[in-house]
Amino acid sequence: MVRRVVAVVLGAVLGVGVGVAPAWADHGTAHTIAQMTAHYQDPGLEAQNKPFALLYLRTTEGMRDANLEGEFSAPEFWDREVIPTFADYYLDAYADWRRHRMREVDPAWRIAFRAMPERLNCTQLIYLGISAHINNDLAFMIEDMGPRYTYADHKHVDDVLVFRTRPVVYPEIQRDLCPGLFGEVVPPTADVDIFAWREAAWRNGQALLAAPDRRARDALARRIRADARDKAREIVRWYR
């Protein structure tokens, strides 16, 4: 993407280490949903990646609807920046993985994208994507957005997930992708973990914003990515 090329060039000129994650989106939520629909409908999308792709598409639609109904404090900001930028972290990671640019794909996403559906159940495949996007990406998106991204709005996303997304998407995943989904044994803390992960991402995002210098910020970024990798490994080992 153009912004990525610009960031890399600036990093080379200034001698600053620049990550490959997006710093902002260049489109709105409607365009993001069109991208995610095409991604989910892509005949080349691997079986292990379809459940999370559908989950995230429906989540983004739920976020769009909540934002259109005035549930967030700055609708234009959420439409043009928050929702698209967060989605770009996932879409960019998948695009890099598909093009075999593995050095640009964070470990949590590499584990999720290459998961073997014959060895993992659908719940694990879904949670690998959820964990990577929250534990790996969310803090960096919060850093990108800065102080306009408020804690009250961050917490309201939890309500969108519970009341708008979950009742719609899990029956659809079960119907279209994973017939045995509702019969799978889920670890007792799995759902609670999602909201704990989101809380930790908020704290990590604030810590990134408050880092006193680039070295401290990059050390924290490495820890975030390592923690997300470790959580992905835990999910893979759930039933062992």
As a whole number, mean pLDDT of residues 113-138 equals: 98
Phi-psi region of 25 (alpha: psi -120 to 50; beta: other; left: phi over 0): beta
> Which parts of the chain fold into alpha helices (H)?
2-14, 29-41, 50-68, 75-77, 83-98, 107-113, 122-131, 139-145, 151-160, 166-176, 190-210, 214-236
Q: What band does 25 get if pLDDT is binned at 50, 70 and 90?
A: confident
- Assess whether pLDDT exceeds 80 at residue 188: yes
Q: What is the pLDDT of residues 94-120, one digit of tens each?
A: 999 999 999 999 999 999 999 999 999
Q: What is the pLDDT of residues 143-158, one digit of tens each?
A: 999 999 999 999 999 9
> Where along the chain do its domains lie?
27-236
Mean pLDDT of the 38-60 span: 98
